[in-house]
Amino acid sequence: MISPAGAPQQLVLDLPHREAHGAEDFLVSRCNEAAVRIIDSWPDWPGQAVLIVALRGCGKTHLANVWRIQAGADIIPARDLSDAAVSALDNDAARIVEDIDREPYDETALFHLLNLSKEKGFSLFLTARTLPGHWTIGLPDLRSRLRSLPVVTIEPPDEPLLKAVLVKLFNDRQIVVSPHVVDFIGLRMERSMDWVQMLVDAIDKAALSGGRKVTRQLASEVLNRLGASECD
C-alpha cells in the first residue's frame, strides 16, 4: 500500500492485542439480554444447570467467561469428560462444559455430571451452537435430561450492539473514530463479533502502516479487502 503524499510506510510490529472478557466489557442488546438475565440471576436458577445456545461469533464464550469469574467455575472440555474424570471431582465448584454439540464426549459421564450437580448442589453452565433437538444422543436418559434443561438463546448480534462493540474496540486501542465513520462501517460489516474484531485489527494495522487517520476512505479500503458488501 502506498501511503499519502509518497510518505514511507511505518513498520508495524505484529504484537498481540489483549482481548477483554470481563463483565464490564460485555455489552448488552436485545439479542443477548435474555442470556444476561440468566447470568445475573445466578445462583437463583430454576435448576442446577442451564444451556446457552448461540452461533459462533455471538458472544457465548465471552458470557461463559463472565459467569466463570462470577461463580468461580471450573471449565471441563467436553472431549475430556469421562466417568473417571467426573468421579475424581473433589469439590463442589460450579462448572462449564462448552460446545457439547460439537465435540465427541462420553455421554454416560455427562449424565453422571448432571446428576452430581443436582446431588451436590453445584451449578452447570453448558453451551452449544444448536438446540438439543438437533443432537444425536444415544443415551435415552441423557437425551431426556438435556431436552428438559432451561435453554437461553443468544441471537446474532444486531447493528446497535455491533456498533457499540466497534467503538469499544477502537477505544481499547486508543483510536479516535468519528461517528460518521462508525455509521459507514455499520452498514457494511458482517454480523459477527469475531469479524468485527478482525476488522478493527485490520484497520488499526492499515492506519499505522500508512501513518493515516481512521477515515471513511481508509475504512472502505479495508472493508473492500475483507470482502464486505458495498452499500450506499
Give the pLDDT confidence of 11-40 residue by residue, as tens digits: 333 333 334 455 566 788 888 899 999 999
Tens digits of residue pLDDT in 179-195: 999 999 988 888 888 88
Q: Give me the pLDDT at residue 85, please.
A: 85
Q: Both 37 and 60 in a single domain?
A: yes
Residue 110 lies in a domain: yes
Of 153, 188, 218, the last residue of a domain is 153
- Picking from 108, 136, 153, the residue at the C-terminal end of a domain is 153
On the question of pLDDT at 171 being above 50, the answer is yes
Q: Looking at the structure, do residues 161 and 143 belong to the same domain, yes or no? A: no
Asked whether residue 213 falls in the same domain as residue 192, the answer is yes
The verdict on residue 29 lying in a domain is: yes
Per-residue model confidence (pLDDT) at position 230:
40
Mean pLDDT score across all residues of the chain: 84
The grid cell for 96 is 462449564
pLDDT cut 70: percent of the chain above it: 87
Q: Is 95 found in the same domain as 31?
A: yes
Total domains in the fold of the chain: 2
Q: Is residue 44 located within the same domain as residue 102?
A: yes
The reply to whether 208 and 166 lie within a common domain is: yes
Same domain as 203, residue 90: no
Domain-located, residue 70: yes
| CA–CA distance, 203 with 206 (Å, rounded to integer) | 5
Does 165 lie in the same domain as 148? Answer: no
Output the domain CATH number for residue 141: 3.40.50.300
DSSP secondary structure letters along the chain: -PPGGGPPPPP---PPPPPP-SGGG----TTTHHHHHHHHHTT--SSSEEEEE--TTSSHHHHHHHHHHHHT-EE--GGG--HHHHHT--S---EEE--TTTS---HHHHHHHHHHHHHHT--EEEEESS-GGGS----HHHHHHHHTS-EEEPPPPPHHHHHHHHHHHHHHTT----HHHHHHHHTTS-S-HHHHHHHHHHHHHHHHHHT----HHHHHHHHHHHTPPP--
pLDDT, residue 106, reads 93
Domain residues for the domain of 187 are: 157-226
From 115, 136, 153, the end of a domain falls on 153
Residues 172 and 204: their CA atoms lie apart, in Å, by 11
Residues whose CB is less than 8 angstroms from the CB of residue 213 and which lie 6 or more positions away in sequence, other chains included? 176, 207
Claim to verify: residue 36 and residue 148 sit in the same structural domain: yes
Q: What is the pLDDT of residues 40-98, one digit of tens each?
A: 999 999 899 999 999 887 888 889 999 999 999 999 888 889 888 888 887 788 999 99
Say what the pTM is. 0.73
Sign for the pseudo-dihedral over CA of 10, 167, 56, 77? positive
Q: What is the CATH number of the domain that holds 173?
A: 1.10.8.60
On whether residue 9 sits in a domain, the answer given is no
Does 115 reside within a domain?
yes
Q: How many C-beta atoms surround the C-beta of residue 187 within 10 A?
A: 13
